[in-house]
Amino acid sequence: MVALGRALLTNPRLLLCDEISLGLAPVVIGQLYEIIPKIRDSGIGIVVVEQDIGRSLAVADRFYCFLEGRVSLSGRPGDVDRDVIMQHYFGL
């Protein structure tokens, strides 16, 4: 939360969040994912790199799956079945 607050103090146009939930308590992760849509709605673009597919898709407008440095799948969360996303995410 402190790192996110510090980043927002700079009035960014784009916020890059790499593994935003890594090592955090579940309560804090829930709070972070409640804040992300509010940040987006304030006009700040957000790129979230995350392994928690369910949480990240819940707040995403678009998603990109990378496999070996290349985009293997992209789209809008509601347009693609979660199983298809998992297959591309894990390279199956």
User: Which structure tokens are listed for 91?
Assistant: 């390279």
Strand-strand pairing, 63-67 and 70-75: antiparallel
Model confidence, pTM: 0.78
Confidence of residue 24 (pLDDT cuts 50, 70, 90): confident
Number of Cβ atoms within 10 Å of the Cβ of 85: 18
Asked whether the predicted pLDDT for residue 1 surpasses 90, the reply is no
What pLDDT score was predicted for residue 82? 82
Residue 24 and residue 8: Cα distance in Å, rounded?
A: 19
Task: Please check whether residue 39 is in contact with residue 15, taking contact to mean a CB–CB distance below 8 angstroms.
Answer: yes
Domain ranges for the chain? 1-60, 62-92
Residue 32 and residue 10: Cα distance in Å, rounded?
A: 18
What pLDDT score was predicted for residue 39? 92
* Closest of 19, 42, 56 to residue 3, by C-alpha: 19
